[in-house]
Every structure is written in C-alpha cells, then in structure tokens.
Amino acid sequence: MYKLMIVEDDLGIAEEIRKKAQMWSIEAFVAQNFQNIMEEFNTEKPHLVLLDISLPFYSGYHWCNEIRKISKVPIIFISSAADNMNIVMAMNAGADDFIPKPFDLNVLIAKVQALLRRSYDFAVGAPAIQHRGAFLNTEDQSLSYDSQKLELSKNEYRILLCLMENKGKVVSREKLMERLWATELFVDENTLTVNINRLRKKLTAMGLNDFITTKFGVGYIVE
C-alpha cells in the first residue's frame, strides 16, 4: 500500500483528502508539526507528498527544498496561489505537479495515483514483486524502495528473487545455491554467505533493516 503525506494547515481540507485517499486504498496521514516537517517525513517515509505553499513557520517551498536534499519522492503542490510565478517557483523547487485550489477530490486522487504509477511501477507491464514497500523489478533486476533504486548483481538478484517468491517461507541454503548454480559459476557455501552479507548491507543502507532473516541451521526467510 502506498503512503501519502498531506502537508496542509487547513485541517478540513487535509481530512477530506485523507479520507478520499483511504477510500482508494492509499494510506494517508496529515502532518502535525509544521515547525519540523522533515521529522515526520523521515519517520513515516511517504511515497508521495501533497504540499501547500502557505504554511505556519515555513513555506511549502522551504519544505520542498529540504525534501529534495535527501529524497526524490514525488511532490504535488496544492495551493490557491496558482498564478504563473508560484507554479514556476514550485517546479523550480523540485515539485512534480501543481494543482490549484479549489480542486475536485476525485481529480486530485486520480493525479496522485497516476504519479505513483509513473514513479514506482518502472515500466508498463513490467512484472514486479512487492514486499514491505520494496519492489523487485524482474525486467531490469533492480530494487526500488522509498524513492531509491538499487542496482543488483546477478547473484544478489537471484537470491532476492528466490526469497521474495517464497516470502513467509524458509528457503534452504541448498535451494539458494541451486538458484545461483544457474549462473554456470561454481557456488560454494562461503560464496553464498558473502553474497547474502553484501546484499544485507545494501538493503540496510536503503532503510530495509532485517529484510532477510537467518533461520540458523535451516536457511533464510523474507517475512
């Protein structure tokens, strides 16, 4: 399920957006601390941000710039200040779209859904396996999570594919080595361990802590 962050100080509007988003199976939350939007952003890790321009303490432009310093997450400005200058400033700050107020909630959610698809579905028709908000793209053998994209080696991809295809089930080391054997390279237990450890470090660096769990004496599991 995608997560939407609503940075809007008109609580009536914010709550209507939240309810409408959840009707379309989009998890949504309304920002509470307008003095430190980044704290909530870093804690909640939303897939898309709706951002008003006029906010208490700091403007939406300020927070857009702060988000862009650390993330490529899609950002849509929603504002009644929809003159050409503000639209240009929003785009220059790193926004992906600008929706003038007042807006139709159905149109807003349709635009949110379209931007989410473009940002996270990689390519039309490309199969992907999802778990804990991470998407394993079987077309280009990459992993996407929280607006980050990780290029995987062939062995890392084969390990992750095998585990995610069997998520919730323990996969034995023998089965993983059989999968790696398909590369026509000799794979021993030490090679498997090295690949698992390297993959874990990359996943942790993306924020996917404990994504792969060891079941000692048995194998590994994604759960």
Q: How confident is the model at residue 123 (pLDDT cuts 50, 70, 90)?
A: very low
Q: pTM for the complete prediction?
A: 0.57
Contacts of 83 (CB under 8 A, 6+ apart): none
Range of lowest pLDDT (7-16, 54-63, 91-100, 138-147): 138-147
* Residue 145 to residue 72: CA distance in whole angstroms: 11
* Residue 92 to residue 114: CA distance in whole angstroms: 21
Whole-number pLDDT of residue 154 = 80
Q: Give the percent of the chain with pLDDT over 90.
A: 48
Whole-number pLDDT of residue 122 = 45
Residue 87's identity, in one-letter code, is I
Tokens read off for 42: 């870093």
* Residue 50 to residue 19: CA distance in whole angstroms: 14
* Residue 114 to residue 159: CA distance in whole angstroms: 31
Q: How confident is the model at residue 167 (pLDDT cuts 50, 70, 90)?
A: confident
